[in-house]
A and B are shown apart, each in its own frame.
Chain A
């Protein structure tokens, strides 16, 4: 397990699949977590193996990917349902939740990543 800072944000593939969010293409574009090689190795993982990302606000399982240029201990998940499972919902008195800079732990897992519909279903109370 590593301690990281989570950033979410746009990617071109996430943007190009915005209007087909029920598709595999959108899942592929938005359901992953990028780490640098060093962090990935520290977890004993290779690309596309799943990680469990945990923050004070929730957990999510997504496949790992490499971004060689990421600094140590900063991880990135494209904006979308998977990132939003773990971002900070507090609006800090100005309306905006915390989509970037969320302290997160990342660890290896054998749990599967949920599809969009499965993930949404977990919010039914």
Chain B
């Protein structure tokens, strides 16, 4: 039985690259070493309801059509639009993302990634303060203090703690967990918190306040602190600060408890400063626990192609960027968008109700392997191969490490990259002598 070793798992930002995938008759029958998420993802194409055929909505119903018809219809929608939005592109390869950026450019679109509802604020934080970070193998070898702040790896990144952090054994941490302390900061006593040496159960939305207190302590001003901070006694915060200061190498992993709560990116921004302050005393770094396996890749590709990691507006021919103004949910909420294309993402499931209402009002194009809530409002649906299972390409791990995804099985579905290339060509054909919209 052919076993593909060192296969790359393409579900979460851990991008584990040690899977052992058994393929029989071009079907994946077993996925070794993966977690529940990775197994579900890798076996998915053989278990779940695939979008088998291209479809176009007619009189409210999706009807099967030819691939060329779907591409033509999609291109027509994009070319006719004055304020098209391209969204998603995180569960796909960097090669496809480059094409998505080009398509957005050619159609004078906005383009944004799933970071819009995930770690977008972390990019904003990096713009404010920088990102003092490291590769995942560094804490594995060095860290004696691990902090999970507003993230829950037991659920969202199941192998994180064994491969890279709490339990991982490394050069200066040969005994794994025994050589480390682990702290969880979360309003909920999560499954991750069960094994924590310290849990700081803060009041929801007070992350910024807690960070302020920690920085005040690190910078020698604990005397001004009130008795209660973020819903916790001051002593608990002092205890946490002491643990941080006593560490030889500390790492703070943060999740959407930092990015989605009150103040949004201002918390992540302030975490970055806390890390900088702590480096006056010891070594400390931070790492964002990115969700989609290649949402980091979108940020990387978009940055080198356009200068900006997300929320890019090509309407004037050159990229402009301002989350709050050019982010997907910003413009959907304002009901500005007049056409929508999404790939390798499911805004239907992950956007707030107000945004989805508008998506039902405008022509929408979906490129995906599976039917999902986005299909419900899409007017053109184009089936795609599953990147990382059915086609290869590059993905960036949560720590910005580029890894080559393997093709595990053959498929008759086109890859996102091929579909986008066909769309670009069709858009060019339709625009013809009119030339490129935006900036020419």
Chain A residues at the B interface, C-beta cutoff of 8 Å:
5, 7, 9-12, 15-23, 57-58, 67, 69-71, 74, 76, 79-81, 84-101, 116-117, 120-121, 123-125
Task: State which residues 247-283 of B face A: CB under 8 Å.
Answer: 256-257, 259-262, 264-265
CB of B133 to closest CB in A, whole Å: 20
Interface membership of B388, Cβ < 8 A = no
A10-B156 contact, Cβ under 8 Å, with A16-B40, A17-B40, A96-B117:
yes
User: In the assembly, what is the distance between CA of A97 and CA of B41, in Å?
Assistant: 27
Q: Do residues B354 and A57 form an inter-chain contact, with CB atoms below 8 A? A: yes
Q: Do residues A97 and B370 form an inter-chain contact, with CB atoms below 8 A? A: no
Q: Do residues B262 and A12 form an inter-chain contact, with CB atoms below 8 A? A: no
Chain B residues at the A interface, C-beta cutoff of 8 Å:
11-12, 36-37, 39-41, 44, 47-49, 116-117, 120-121, 124, 152, 154-156, 158, 187-190, 193, 201, 204-205, 256-257, 259-262, 264-265, 291, 310-311, 323-324, 326-330, 333, 346, 348-357, 359-361, 369-373, 376-377
User: In the assembly, what is the distance between CA of A5 and CA of B205, in Å?
Assistant: 10
Residues of B within 8 A of A94 (CB): 120-121, 124, 264-265, 323-324, 327
**5 cross-chain pairs, A with B, having the tightest CB-CB distances, nearest first:** A95-B327, A95-B323, A89-B352, A69-B189, A93-B324
Q: Do residues B121 and A96 form an inter-chain contact, with CB atoms below 8 A? A: yes
Q: Do residues A121 and B376 form an inter-chain contact, with CB atoms below 8 A? A: yes
A84-B353 contact, Cβ under 8 Å, with A22-B371, A91-B327:
yes
A10-B152 contact, Cβ under 8 Å, with A20-B370, A100-B204, A125-B360:
yes
CB of B308 to closest CB in A, whole Å: 12
User: In the assembly, what is the distance between CA of A76 and CA of B188, in Å?
Assistant: 9
CB of A65 to closest CB in B, whole Å: 14
CB of B143 to closest CB in A, whole Å: 23
A96-B260 contact, Cβ under 8 Å, with A5-B204, A9-B152, A16-B40:
yes
Residues of B within 8 A of A92 (CB): 264, 324
User: In the assembly, what is the distance between CA of A108 and CA of B47, in Å?
Assistant: 36
User: In the assembly, what is the distance between CA of A94 and CA of B359, in Å?
Assistant: 21
Q: Which of A10, A70, A117 is B155 in contact with, Cβ under 8 Å?
A: A10
Q: Do residues A21 and B371 form an inter-chain contact, with CB atoms below 8 A? A: yes
CB of A57 to closest CB in B, whole Å: 6
A22-B154 contact, Cβ under 8 Å, with A70-B189, A101-B262:
no
- CB-nearest residue of chain A relative to B43? A19
Residues of B within 8 A of A23 (CB): 48-49
User: In the assembly, what is the distance between CA of A116 and CA of B120, in Å?
Assistant: 27
Q: Do residues B346 and A125 form an inter-chain contact, with CB atoms below 8 A? A: no
User: In the assembly, what is the distance between CA of A90 and CA of B259, in Å?
Assistant: 14
Residues of B within 8 A of A12 (CB): 36-37, 154-156, 158
Q: Do residues A58 and B40 form an inter-chain contact, with CB atoms below 8 A? A: no
Q: Do residues B330 and A91 form an inter-chain contact, with CB atoms below 8 A? A: yes
Query: Can you list 14 pairs linking A and B with CB atoms under 8 Å apart?
Result: A10-B291, A12-B158, A15-B155, A18-B346, A19-B41, A21-B346, A71-B188, A74-B187, A81-B348, A94-B327, A95-B120, A95-B310, A97-B352, A100-B260
Residues of A within 8 A of B156 (CB): 10, 12, 15
User: In the assembly, what is the distance between CA of A88 and CA of B352, in Å?
Assistant: 7
Q: Do residues B371 and A95 form an inter-chain contact, with CB atoms below 8 A? A: no
- CB-nearest residue of chain B relative to A80? B349
A57-B353 contact, Cβ under 8 Å, with A17-B40, A21-B346, A96-B260:
yes
User: In the assembly, what is the distance between CA of A124 and CA of B60, in Å?
Assistant: 11
- CB-nearest residue of chain A relative to B376? A120
Q: Do residues A97 and B360 form an inter-chain contact, with CB atoms below 8 A? A: no
Q: Do residues B372 and A21 form an inter-chain contact, with CB atoms below 8 A? A: yes
User: In the assembly, what is the distance between CA of A106 and CA of B355, in Å?
Assistant: 24
Residues of A within 8 A of B39 (CB): 16
User: In the assembly, what is the distance between CA of A44 and CA of B323, in Å?
Assistant: 44
User: In the assembly, what is the distance between CA of A79 and CA of B291, in Å?
Assistant: 12
Q: Most chain-A Cβ atoms within 10 A of its Cβ — which of B189, B260, B323?
A: B260
User: In the assembly, what is the distance between CA of A93 and CA of B333, in Å?
Assistant: 12
User: In the assembly, what is the distance between CA of A80 and CA of B353, in Å?
Assistant: 11
CB of A81 to closest CB in B, whole Å: 5
User: In the assembly, what is the distance between CA of A80 and CA of B350, in Å?
Assistant: 5
Q: Do residues B353 and A120 form an inter-chain contact, with CB atoms below 8 A? A: no
Q: Do residues B357 and A123 form an inter-chain contact, with CB atoms below 8 A? A: yes
Q: Which of A80, A86, A89, A117 is B329 in contact with, Cβ under 8 Å?
A: A89
CB of A46 to closest CB in B, whole Å: 22
Q: Do residues A57 and B352 form an inter-chain contact, with CB atoms below 8 A? A: yes
Q: Do residues A16 and B36 form an inter-chain contact, with CB atoms below 8 A? A: yes
Residues of A within 8 A of B326 (CB): 95
CB of A71 to closest CB in B, whole Å: 7
Residues of A within 8 A of B40 (CB): 15-19
Q: Do residues A89 and B262 form an inter-chain contact, with CB atoms below 8 A? A: no
User: In the assembly, what is the distance between CA of A90 and CA of B357, in Å?
Assistant: 14
Residues of B within 8 A of A76 (CB): 188
Residues of B within 8 A of A21 (CB): 346, 349, 370-373
Q: Which of A5, A18, A117, A123 is B353 in contact with, Cβ under 8 Å?
A: A123
